[in-house]
Structure 1
Amino acid sequence: CISPAKSERIWAIIEAEDAGLYRSDNGGESWVKTSGNRDLIHRPWYYCHVFADPQHVDTVYITNLQMWKSTDGGTNFSEITTPHGDNHDLWIDPNNAQRMVQGNDGGACVSYNGGETWSTIYNQLTAQFYRIDIDNEFPYRVYATQQDNTSISVPSASAYGAITLQESTFPGTGESGFIAVKPDDSNIVYIGAVGSSPGGEGALQHYNHKTEQLRLVNIWPEEKYGWAPKDLKYRFSWTFPIAFSPHDSGIVYACGNHVFRTNNEGHSWESISPDLTRADENKLNVSGGLTIDSSGAEHYACISTFVESPHQSGIFWTGSDDGLVHTSRDGGKNWQNITPPNLPEWSYIFCIEASGHDPETIFLSATRYKLNDYRPLLYKSTDGGKKWSSINGDYPETEISRVIREDPTCPGLLFVGSETGIFMSTNSGKNWQKLGGNFPVVPVYDMKIKQDDLVVGTHGRSFWILDDLTPLRK
C-alpha cells in the first residue's frame, strides 16, 4: 500500500517466517519491520490488508479478525471496535480521513469520526445464505444458515406490514451448511454449524423452538482444527447435507464422506454407506502454506448433495464435491456409481433434484468454477441415473450452474441458480431464459418451491420470494 500522504512510503503486511508489518520510506529500496504482532497477520489468506491514512503519514490501518490502527508509523496498534468481526476492506475519504466505509462479514459500515462509532449493519440486504428450508406453518417461515452469523428464520408474510427483525428467530448458531426443519413439527430444526459451534468436525445442532434448547448431535466427536482431513475418521464439508426422510419424519440423514442416519433425534447415528468420494489422499492434506489453516472450510472429498426419492423410501442419490454420483435402491445396503460418463472429472456436484412427477427422473447440477471452468453442467436422467443426457440447451456457456429445482406442479418447468441470478426452462432444459424484474445480480445458492412461491436464498442479498408462479406454469 502506497501512502497517499507520502508517495515514498510503502506498507506491506507479509506472511513469512519473520511475518509482520513492513515499511519502506524510499519507494521500496529498503525495508524495516515495524511490528510482529500476530493479531495483525493471522489467517493471511482470508484477511491481511493494510490501508494508509490519506492525510496523516504515520497513521495506518489493518483489517483482520479485528480492525487495528497505528498512529506512530506502524509500531504500536490499538483495536478499533467494529459492528462485526472478520474485517476485510476499508475506504478512507481522501479529503477527510474521519469519513470511512468499512466492510466486514456482517455488511458495510460508515464512520464519520475516524472509527470511533459506526453505522448499523442491520439496514442492508447483505446476508450470505448457504442453504435454505421452509416449514409448514401459515404463513410459512424461511430458514437458512448465514455466513459468519446465526441461523435465521424469517416469516414469509407479516400481519404488521413490513417484515421486521423482531419477527425473526435464530435457531442455532449456524454460519455454514444445510438446515432442515421437521415437516410435521416446525419446532424442531437441525443446523449445520461447522464454522460456529464448539462441536468440532461435522458440528451438527438440534434446536427446539418450544423449549429453546440447543444441543449438539454430532455424528462423530472429533476435533478438526489443525488436522489433515486424511487423518480424521470421517470428513465433513463446510456445507454437509442434512435431510429429513420424506416418508418418515423421525428419520434424519446427514452426510460426511459417508451417509449417516438417525431415528432418535441424533442421540445415535449409523453409517449406511461406504465412502462415496474419490478420497484422493493427495488432496486431503492440511491446507495453507506458511500458515496452516485447517478450519473445516477447506475439507474435501465429501458428499455435497443427498436426496431420498419422494416416491419410495430407501432410494437415495448422492453427489460428492470431487465429482462422483451414487445411488442405493435398498436403503443403503448396496451402492452403485452412476456418475455421468461425460461429466468432467473433479466437478463439484452441487445439487441432485428428484422429480416429484416421475419416480425415475432426476436432475443434476454441477460446477467447476474453482478449476477456472465456468461452463454450466446440467443433466437429466429418466431411469434413475443409468443414462444421462445434457440439458444445457441454450443456457449461457459462461454462467455456472449451482442449484436446480423442478416445479412440483408443472413437469419440465426448471429453475437453476447461477452466479448472477436465476434461469428458467419450460421444456426440461431445451431452452433457458433469465428471470429479470427487480431480482439483483447475485449468486443463488439454494431455492425451494412452496405452493405457488419460488423461495430463493442468495449469497449476498438475503431472501427473495417470487410469489406467484402461475403465469410460468401455463
Structure 2
Amino acid sequence: YSGGSVHVDQHCAAFNPINPNIVMIGNDGGVYFSADGGITWRAKNNNLQVTQFYGFDIDHTKPNINFGGTQDNGTLGNDADTNWSFIAGGDGFRTVVNYDNPNIIYGQSTPGGVIKPFKLDLKTGAFTYIDKGITFDASVWDPPLVMDPNISSILYYGRNRLYATYSDGSSWEVLKTPSINGRYTAIDISPLSSEHIMAGTSGGDLLVSTDGGDKWTNVASNGLVNRWVTDIAFSNQVEGKAFVTFSGFYTPHIFKTTDFGKSWVNISKNFPDIPVNTIAIHPFNDDILFVGTDIGVFASYDGGANWFPFGRNLPRSPVTDMKFCKYSLTSQTIPLRVSTHGRGIWEASVPIDLITSYEITSPSGGEIFISSTQQLISWYGFVPPVRVEYSIDDGNNWSLIADNVASSPLMWTLPNVETDFARVRITSLSKPEQTKISNTFKISLIEKGSILTSTGVNFIPYGIAYDGKDGLWTTSFNSNQLVKLNANNYAREKSVKLPGDSLFTDIAYDRENNLIYVHRMNSTSGNGGMVLVLDTNGTLIRQFASPANVYPIGIEVFDGKLLIGDRDKKDQYGRQMLMVVNPQNGSVEASYPNPYSKTYGPRGLAYDRQQYVYQVGTYFPNGGSLTEAVVIKIDKNDLTREVARIPLQTMTGLINARGIEFDPRDKNLWITDYNGSIYKIAGFDLVLGVDREVISKGNSSKELEFRAYPNPAVSMIIFSMQPYEDLSNVKLEIHNSLGCIIEEAYFDVIAKGEAKVLTFDTSKLNSGMYFVVISSGGKNLVYEKIIVIK
C-alpha cells in the first residue's frame, strides 16, 4: 500500500479477524488505523514513542534541549517542554550542536536521494547545504559527522574518503589517508589535543593521526577485529588513551588503547556476544564506561574488567548513540542520554560512586547456545563467594554448575539437552538475599556443523593450516602477512611477511618437514598464480607456477604430494578440476573432475592424513549472491565423488567460507570466512551422546503424560494428558514466540489416570512456532514446542 494519509515505508499490518475492514499498520511514522479497508486512515501515535533515531546531540547550555536525525522523519529538535518539531526533512542522520553557539546545528539530509551535510541557524532560520569540496563519493547510510571539541570551526566528515572543514563548513578538504577497506563509519578527536584524530571503517580499519590529519597510520593489525567500527571515544584525561567499539558477532566488541593504537586490549571478555553501537566515557573518571548495544545499555566502573546492565525501564531497542549532558554536571550524578532506533531518546542519572547493585551480565537472554560447548557466565556486584546454577525448565528445577566461586566470570560446559527455557541463577553464599535469575535463553543440540568456538581477525583469513602441535597458520588475502595463532585459544603468536603484496589464498602445512605451501594469485582476474614454499619464518625456499592456472585457491599436503584445486579452471565437460601435483616442481601427476563444480564454488582443501579430503564449496549462481555454503567430504580413493556434506551457517545466515582445516585431536573442522571470522565447527565424525534430554519437546514429566498431535499442525491440533497422580488447579497455556498467551484452559482437578483430550483450532494462527505450557498449582510440568504451517 502507498499513498493516502499514512506515512511511507510500511513494515507490518494486523487485520481484525472478525471484520477485515478494520486494519492497523506499522511504518516509519508509527501506527495507523483504518476502519474501512484502507480507504481512510488516522494516526494512533499519542504517547507512543517509536521514533527511529540514528544519532543525536545535546545543547549543553540548557537543561533539556536535544537534536537528532531519524529514519524517514527528518532531523528533529525539542524545546524545554520536550515538544519535538522538524528542523530538516528527508532522512536524518548524525547531528552536531555547535558548543560555542548552540543556535547552529549541523546534520545531514537526502535531497534528490543524495546524502548531504547541512548547517542551520536556529536564530535566523538560515538553512544551507555545506557540501563545497565534497565529491559525494560512496558512503555508509549514516555517515559520521563530528566537530573538533577544541575548535568549533573544524568538522570532520567520512564517506569513502575522509573530509575536513576548517571554516565552519564553508568548504571541505580531502585528507590524504591510506587506502581503506570499506567506508568511514566513526571519527573522534581528542578533547586534549586537536592533533589527535581516529577514524574507523566498515571494513575494520582504524586510522590514527597525531599531527592534525597530515599523516595517518592504520593500527587495525595491532590486535583489532575485522568488523564494522561503530564508535570511537578518546579519553578526557590521558593522552593516547581511547576506546573503540565494533558491531557483529563471534568476536570481541570493545577495545582500549593507551598508546594511540600501537597496542590494543580487549575489554569485553565478560561481555555478551552482541553488537556494540556506541560508547560514552564519564567526564570525571575514565574507568566509568557506558556502551549502547542492540539490547540496551551496559556499564563498567572498573575500566572494562566487569560489565553489568545499566538502568531500568529502557525498552529493549537498539541503542544508537549516547552522550552525557554537561549542563547538569554535579559531584553526585550526571544525566546520560541515549537514542534508540525505534523507541526515541531516554535519560538516566549516573552516579559517580560505584554502583553496588548486583546483576547477571551474561547470558543476557535470547541467546542460542550449542549443547556441550563452553559458554561464559559473568556477573557483577554479588558479595563473593557465589553459587552458580542452571535450569532447563524455566526455573522450576535447578542444577549446580559451581559452588564457592570467588569471582566472575565462569566458563560453563553446557549440558547435552535441548531447551527453549534455560536460565542461570547466581546467589551470594554470604548474603543469600543477593540472588538473580537470568532471562531465558535457548540450548540447541549439537549437530554436524554446529559452531563450537570462534574468533575474529582484522584481515581476510583466506587459508588455514594446522601444524600438528599448537599452531594455526592463516593467510591474509589483502596483505602479505602470514599469521600464526594458538590453536587452542586463538591468541596471535607470530606474524611473518610473504614475498609479494597480497592475493594469498589457501595454505598447507607439511608437518614432517615443517614447510608451508601457499597459493598466491597473479591477479583477481583469473590468470593463474604461484605456489610458494617457505619455512616458518617466511623465508622463501622455492616457488613454481601453480598448475591451477586460472583461479588458484585450494592446496593441501596429500600423501607426499600436493592436492591443488582451481576455482574456475574447467575440463572439456565444463567441470572444475582437482590435481595431484609433485611438490618439488608443480608437475601434474593426475587430474580429476571436482565433485563440487559450481559457479565460484571450490575453495580451500583439507586432508585428515588418513582417508578423507574436505573441501569448502560456495555457490554464486551466475556470479550473483551467495546461495550455498558447504563442506564436502571426499574419499581419497575416488576424488571425483562427494560422500557427505555439512551446511555452513551461523544464526545470521550463510558463512561466506574460504579456508578449511581438519583437527586430528577432536576430528572437528576449522573454517575461515571472507568477513574475518575463524570458526571451529563440529565435524563429520561427531558422536551424539545417549544422554541427550529434550526439554522443549519433552512429551511428559514425572507427574503427567502429554501428547500433541499432529505436530506440525495445519488446521487443528489435539492435546492429550493423563496424570500419574491427582492434580489440582491444572492450567494449559499456548504461548506465541514472544511469550504472549494466546489460548488457555483450566481444570480444577484431574484424577490419577484420567485422560483429558482437547482439540484446538490452529487455522487462524499464523505459520510459526508456539509453545504449550502445562502447570498444576503454579508449578510448570510440561513444555512442548508446536509448529503451525499453512
TM-score (norm 1): 0.69
The yes-or-no answer on 1:423 pairing with 2:423 is no
Residue identity in the other structure for 1:317: M
Structure 2 counterpart of 1:60: none
The yes-or-no answer on 1:125 pairing with 2:49 is yes
The CA deviation at 1:94 is 1.5
The yes-or-no answer on 1:440 pairing with 2:356 is no
Contact 1:260 1:273 in 2 (8 A): no
Listed as ranges, the gaps of 5+ residues in structure 1 are 1-62, 67-78, 223-232, 279-300
Residue identity in the other structure for 1:353: A
Match of 2:241 among 361, 364, 383: 361
Contact 1:257 1:276 in 2 (8 A): no
Contact 1:105 1:148 in 2 (8 A): yes
**How many residues of Structure 1 are paired with residues of Structure 2 in the alignment?**
348
Structure 1 counterpart of 2:100: 184
Structure 1 counterpart of 2:6: 83
Greater Rg over alpha carbons, structure: 2
In structure 1, C-alpha distance between the alignment counterparts of 2:278 and 2:90, rounded to whole Å = 20
| Cα distance change on mapping 1:407 and 1:468 into 2, 3 Å | closer
The yes-or-no answer on 1:92 pairing with 2:15 is yes
Contact 1:177 1:191 in 2 (8 A): yes
Q: How much identity, in percent, do the aligned residues show?
A: 29
Q: Secondary structure of the residue that 2:324 maps to in structure 1? A: strand
The yes-or-no answer on 1:320 pairing with 2:243 is no
Q: CA RMSD in A?
A: 2.1
Q: Secondary structure of the residue that 1:312 maps to in structure 2? A: coil
Higher relative contact order (CA 8 A, sep 6+): 1
The yes-or-no answer on 1:111 pairing with 2:34 is yes
Structure 1 counterpart of 2:595: none
Higher strand share: 2
Q: Summarize deviations over 1:25-74 as a string: whole Å, max 9, x none.
A: xxxxxxxxxxxxxxxxxxxxxxxxxxxxxxxxxxxxxx3xx1xxxxxxxx
Structure 2 counterpart of 1:297: none
Aligned pairs (5 A) from 1:406-417? 406-417=281-292
Contact 2:74 2:92 in 1 (8 A): no
Match of 1:330 among 211, 228, 240: 211
Q: Secondary structure of the residue that 2:317 maps to in structure 1? A: coil
The CA deviation at 1:313 is 1.5
Q: Summarize deviations over 1:314-360 as a string: whole Å, max 9, x none.
A: 21001001110010111111100111544332x10000110112111
Aligned pairs (5 A) from 1:6-85? 63=1, 66=2, 81-85=4-8
The CA deviation at 1:263 is 2.6
Aligned pairs (5 A) from 1:45-444? 63=1, 66=2, 81-115=4-38, 116-155=40-79, 157-158=80-81, 163=82, 165=83, 168-173=84-89, 175-193=91-109, 196-198=110-112, 201-220=114-133, 234-274=137-177, 276-278=179-181, 301-345=182-226, 347-368=227-248, 373=249, 375-396=251-272, 398-444=273-319
In structure 2, C-alpha distance between the alignment counterparts of 1:366 and 1:97, rounded to whole Å = 45
In structure 2, C-alpha distance between the alignment counterparts of 1:320 and 1:340, rounded to whole Å = 13
In structure 1, C-alpha distance between the alignment counterparts of 2:134 and 2:323, rounded to whole Å = 32
| Cα distance change on mapping 1:186 and 1:169 into 2, 3 Å | farther
The yes-or-no answer on 1:456 pairing with 2:372 is no
Contact 2:223 2:263 in 1 (8 A): no
The CA deviation at 1:87 is 1.6
Moved more, 82-91 or 410-419: 82-91
| Cα distance change on mapping 1:203 and 1:316 into 2, 3 Å | same
The CA deviation at 1:121 is 3.4
Contact 1:367 1:376 in 2 (8 A): no
Residue identity in the other structure for 1:456: V
| Cα distance change on mapping 1:219 and 1:415 into 2, 3 Å | farther
In structure 2, C-alpha distance between the alignment counterparts of 1:90 and 1:221, rounded to whole Å = 41
Listed as ranges, the gaps of 5+ residues in structure 2 are 357-790
TM-score (norm 2): 0.42
Q: Secondary structure of the residue that 2:260 maps to in structure 1? A: coil
Q: Summarize deviations over 1:297-320 as a string: whole Å, max 9, x none.
A: xxxx21111111110122100100
Structure 1 counterpart of 2:401: none
The CA deviation at 1:374 is 5.3
Q: Summarize deviations over 1:72-109 as a string: whole Å, max 9, x none.
A: xxxxxxx5x24211122211111111211111111112
Residue identity in the other structure for 1:466: A
In structure 2, C-alpha distance between the alignment counterparts of 1:103 and 1:207, rounded to whole Å = 31
The CA deviation at 1:274 is 2.5
Residue identity in the other structure for 1:235: A
Residue identity in the other structure for 2:258: T
Moved more, 320-329 or 92-101: 92-101
In structure 2, C-alpha distance between the alignment counterparts of 1:403 and 1:322, rounded to whole Å = 17
Contact 2:252 2:266 in 1 (8 A): no
